[in-house]
Amino acid sequence: MEQKKNQSRGEGHRERLRQRFLSGGIERFSDEDIIEFLLTLGTPRVDTRLSAREALKKFGSISNVISAPTQDLMKIKGIGEKNALYLKFVHDVASRYLKDRIINNTYFTSSKNVFDYLFHSMRDLQREVFRILYLNQKNILVKDEDLFAGDLTSSAVYPREIIKNAIKNNAASLIIVHNHPSGDPSPSTHDCLLTKNIVWASRLVGIRILDHIIIGNNAYYSFMDENYIRKFEDEYNINLEEKLSSHENR
């Protein structure tokens, strides 16, 4: 009897949420209402208010809840596999929607732009992934793709493959992004050497590397912001001048 009362109470509350959305849209929803409503997709006959409240308390925000790992969501009482699946589905649909809206329409003018664009899709990856953003002459994104993937500590990244794909996609410039599954975005010696090699290789074919960004847990590192991209370009120019001078003196 008590279970039926709880189900009836939950159904009445969900109906009020549905009517509130239909009459005023999502602006009339609190963060807790939104998560609760999403949870009902997986368990339509169960009161999910307390689960929504606990999820927000644990993860801190709507975006953190829907991007949380499935196993972490399922640790909250009342959130089962179906609930977690629907939350992940909503997250992935939102990511695809934003990507479709951004392609051929968005200017990347700062490392923060790139971080905001890729943070949720790359933050929780359990292996290192290198993603390339191909930009046209106006710095508008025309395509992005995961070009390399490795284990938790390293990836086999080949500058020639990056350049080949850049030419294939008619890119005028590139932004390179990869994640550190450890959560610490600080660059390794390998990251620095790789960035230098890619910058030098790209200069040979007239393509610019605008930035190399490392994404960690709620933080990122930008080689451009730290002036390393300019430093590597200057080193390339000096090296080229020395070689030309040496050739002329022969």
DSSP string, 42-94: T-TTS--HHHHHHHHHHH-SHHHHHTS-HHHHTTSTT--HHHHHHHHHHHHHH
Which residues is 211 bridged to in the sheet? 175
- Are 92 and 151 part of one and the same domain? no
- Are 240 and 124 part of one and the same domain? yes
Here the CATH number for the domain that contains residue 239 is 3.40.140.10
Q: How many domains does the chain have?
A: 2
CB of 120 closer than 8 Å to CB of 133: no
Q: Quick: pLDDT tens for 69-78.
A: 888 999 999 8
pLDDT at 167: 95
pLDDT at 105: 62
- Are 13 and 51 part of one and the same domain? yes
Query: Which of these three, 57, 73, 99, is where a domain ends?
Result: 99
- Are 135 and 216 part of one and the same domain? yes
Distance CA 175, CA 141 (A): 10
- Are 137 and 218 part of one and the same domain? yes
- Are 81 and 199 part of one and the same domain? no
Amino acid, res. 46: V
pLDDT at 75: 93
- Are 72 and 146 part of one and the same domain? no
- Are 174 and 224 part of one and the same domain? yes
Q: Which domain holds residue 24?
A: 2-99
Distance CA 132, CA 5 (A): 54
**pLDDT (tens digit, 0 to 9) for every residue of the chain, 250 residues total?**
444 544 555 566 678 778 888 887 787 788 888 898 888 877 777 788 899 999 999 988 887 888 888 889 999 998 988 888 888 888 888 777 766 766 666 667 889 988 988 887 787 777 899 999 999 988 888 888 998 887 645 557 889 999 999 999 999 999 999 999 888 999 999 999 999 999 999 999 999 999 999 999 889 999 999 999 999 999 999 988 877 777 666 6
CB of 164 closer than 8 Å to CB of 145: no
- Are 88 and 67 part of one and the same domain? yes
- Are 94 and 6 part of one and the same domain? yes
Query: Which of these three, 99, 120, 146, is where a domain ends?
Result: 99
- pTM of this structure: 0.66
- Are 80 and 185 part of one and the same domain? no
pLDDT at 18: 80
Residues 191/192/197/198 CA torsion (nearest 10 deg): 60
- Are 151 and 239 part of one and the same domain? yes
